[in-house]
Amino acid sequence: MATVQDVAAIAQQAVAQRLAGDATWTHNKVTFDLDSGGYCARFVRQCHEAAIGVGEFTWAYCASTARNMEALLRDAGLATDNPQPGDIIAMNNQSAAVGHIGIFLGGGQIAENTSSGSRGNPSDPGTKISPLSAVASEVSGYYAALPAAPLAGYNPGPIKVVLPNGGSVDGWLTDHAVVGVAALGSGLGLGVSDHVQSNRTVVMGDYTGELPASLPQFPGYTPGPLTVVTTGGQCDGWLTNGLDGHAIVAVRAVADLLGYQVRDEIPAARQVVLVRSAGGV
């Protein structure tokens, strides 16, 4: 499956081929015209078609202009506030009628095909890598048309959540680290009051009552979303459908509310570590 990392690699290689003196470059049956400038939408389309391995003009968001391409991406719900290298950057705030679009590379850089001869490397019009700062005022949106490949070590599965007192509780990595509310509360010295039946809420705080060994299976305990209320505020949680049924919550969300920071060590040790923030609990 093609990923956003593939797109970034292709865009960078296209520029590298031009810097090496090539006027054209063919990859995965897609031929890039590297020296001609002013074909930004074509460049973005070809980077994706070469990554996916489909024929020319078959990409779902193929468009003749940058403004039209951005409209297709926006209407498809692909806008993102957290762009990754290889995502699409649209620069249509102040551009000419056809607009401009490119590939976000991170590190303050974009890959683009442009008629501009005043920015980027190489400086002549054509396919190049340019500083994001040169077009920052024109950025109208970022779009994630392909998924990101999971980083090594971040595959879903069990993890440890290491607590500030040196203890730990079992957690699970989905697309983020989650942990049992009761286990986390106990590890942090917080009581947990279970009110799932009445209002789909569990409370982490000064509660000192005893929890049942297992949660009874009655209507209020059906799996689904619930609210976790802490001494610092509330966040979303989830009631699982395990044998005992228990509430889980994202580690980072609870840590933020309770004044902790989270140090991510998942690749090395399959764990996340809660550490005390300045002025934290």
Residues 28 and 117 in one domain: yes
Token digits of residue 184:
């986390």
Name the residue with higher pLDDT: 207 or 229.
Answer: 229
* Arithmetic mean of pLDDT, 220-245: 79
Show the domain range for 178: 157-276
Residues 188 and 164 in one domain: yes
Residues 206 and 262 in one domain: yes
Give the HSE-up count for residue 190: Cα atoms under 13 Å, Cβ half-sphere.
23
In a domain, 150, yes or no: no
CA distance 65 to 59: 14
Residues 9 and 65 in one domain: yes
pLDDT, tens digit (0-9, with 9 covering 90-100), for 162-179: 999 889 999 999 878 999
Q: How confident is the model at residue 267 (pLDDT cuts 50, 70, 90)?
A: confident
Residues 83 and 50 in one domain: yes
Residues 10 and 107 in one domain: yes
In a domain, 152, yes or no: no
What is the residue-averaged pLDDT of the chain? 88
Mapping DSSP to helix (H, G, I), strand (E, B) and coil, where does residue 186 land? helix
Residues 114 and 227 in one domain: no
Q: Which amino acid is at 115?
A: S
Given 110, 143, 176, the domain boundary residue is: 143
Residues 98 and 197 in one domain: no
Residues 192 and 83 in one domain: no
Q: How far is CA 89 from the centre of its chain?
A: 15
Q: H or E element: which one contains 191?
A: strand 191-195
128 forms bridges with which residues in the sheet? 112
Q: Work out how many domains the chain is built from and give that number.
A: 2
Q: What is the pLDDT of residue 209?
A: 55
CATH number of 70's domain: 3.90.1720.10
pLDDT, tens digit (0-9, with 9 covering 90-100), for 129-161: 999 999 999 999 999 999 988 767 778 889 999
102 forms bridges with which residues in the sheet? 89
In a domain, 105, yes or no: yes
Given 143, 176, 196, the domain boundary residue is: 143
pTM of the model: 0.59
